[in-house]
Structure 1
């Protein structure tokens, strides 16, 4: 039997490459120990867990969930390649935007932050709400409720479901007519003609207007796609000119909501943002909420 993969990234390597320095490596700030790591790491060396997506059936291990993620990465990789190649503007056709949006949904349910959330949602929702059903392959009859309840507590089934959940949500909840509400913006050029690519990446990289709402397709979000590119879901609003200060605020929020690591191309910038973020954390929860609201001030209603 062929060996299965064990090193499973919850932030894909191709995604992390957009946040590396010229050496192809990342500066890493260790949040738990409150320090910048002395060694720069490659994308393959961070944001992974061994056997995170490994399943076991009757004593036999399988990594087909990891293969599912790999297939998705292949699909969205084309759009990220196009974004990387574009220097001064974003021109993505509808198919590319669909891929980026699907990737955002997948990433949210792939990170450790949502481990307990996916278990709770899975256990407390009906099969209809989860968009699946289990039937006897011979008779075609639906499985009894007690069997469903057992399955819903099975770790292998939960891991499988979390991999396909973004696709199911995308199919059942995403409004194709609202594609224009999703926008990719590039870092602004300063008065010296320089493009300051600042964005960082952390283990919880999607910023929600309302963190208690997990429906990524129906609320405003901000998500760094690379150091200089950002995905916005505006929900019908417009986006003001995004000044460097607004982008720095995004990095501060990323620090506040990450638990283990935050990375970027430049170590000194990482340390500065860590210091800024700690000030907001030390003041009060209201200070952090004020910062979140300020981050979304770049959205404005154009109907008035």
Structure 2
């Protein structure tokens, strides 16, 4: 068998390495906590928030990793603007850096394992319902067959036995699943629509004070919460279009963003309590992993309890697994 002309990329990041680089500490590593496996770990961005074949395409004449390659190019284009916002805690004057940040937020909100799995379940149920619908009664099936014959799509001399086709569909319906190609197409279409939801918000830049412990991120970093409240990770939060919901997005261990429908775009410094409140919601949205520059970050715990710290997070009974 001839060798492929080039190596195909199979490890695909759903949270980009360039984004995770904002949460590295010593030796360029993130300090992580895995809520499912109940263990701490240290890793370079290359080793986390990735899934085999997450962006794989199956189509004749198209390299399987074509989308992965194009997404990598896009992330490289966004990276300089993201870096400037991190370093200056400012969107600059021409709006380009703000645009780059909004594009990154949109990518992360749309393309992640939780959303992918949720949408694939919906698509699969829809496809199964469509296949089963003609067999609710014989008249429906006959109407479908006649329509296909009129369109020239029914095989010549093929019998249209209602009971036989019905039995075949019922016996094989559980094998019908939405193909990943379809999911990828839907995600790409959603990017353009959702970009404008995020762009319409007024983005407040948050700066963590030196002694605050810093911001954290997760394997699902775009979060929604009611203003002034702690969310602790409602997976099915209200829609982005509602004016009484904030979008939270950590950009680095020192800079984070809050998108609101009202108010202006400004810069606010947060002390340890403010950073801890922000972190609590972000951590609650994690699928299973939390990332930070070190283990000294803080997060708000339920009323009456002191602030939690990263170094003791695994002993906290509120740490839950929220895998999709």
- Give the structure-1-normalised TM-score: 0.69
User: Hey, what does 1:298 align to over in structure 2?
Assistant: none
Correspondence 1:165-184 to 2 at 5 A: 165-170=190-195, 173-174=196-197, 178=200, 181-184=202-205
Deviation at residue 153 of structure 1 after TM alignment: 3.1
Change (3 A) 1:69 1:215: farther
Query: 2:36 maps to which residue?
Result: 32
Shift of residue 115 of structure 1?
A: 1.6
Q: Which runs of 5+ in 2 are unaligned?
A: 127-152, 154-176, 227-233, 299-307
Q: From the superposition, tell whether residues 155 and 59 of structure 1 become closer, same or farther in structure 2 (CA, over 3 Å).
A: farther
Aligned length: 248
Structure 1 residues 82 and 197, CA gap change in structure 2 (3 angstroms): farther
Q: CA RMSD in A?
A: 3.5
For the residues of structure 1 that align with 2:190 and 2:93, how far apart are their CA atoms? 25
Q: Is the 8 A contact 1:90 1:185 kept in 2?
A: no
Partner residue, 2:109: 108
Change (3 A) 1:79 1:50: same
Shift of 1:207: 1.9
User: Closer, same or farther in 2 for the Cα pair 1:266/1:59, shift >3 Å?
Assistant: same
Q: 1:162 — aligned with what? A: 187
- Secondary structure in 2 aligned to 1:62? coil
In the aligned structure 2, how far is the partner of 1:154 from the partner of 1:33? 30
- Cα drift, residue 41 of structure 1: 1.0
Counterpart of 2:318 in structure 1 is 281
Asked if 1 retains the 8 angstrom alpha-carbon contact of 2:116 and 2:183, the reply is no
Aligned partners of 1:90 and 1:186 also within 8 Å: no
Distance 1:263 1:48 in 2: 14
Residue in 2 that maps onto 1:5: 9
- TM score, norm. by length of structure 2: 0.65
The residue number in structure 2 matching 1:266 is: 294
| d(CA) in 1 for partners of 2:221, 2:312 | 19
| Mapped pair 1:77 → 2:79 | yes
Q: 1:66 aligns with which of 44, 68, 71?
A: 68
Structure 1: runs of 5+ lacking an equivalent: 126-143, 145-151, 189-193, 285-304
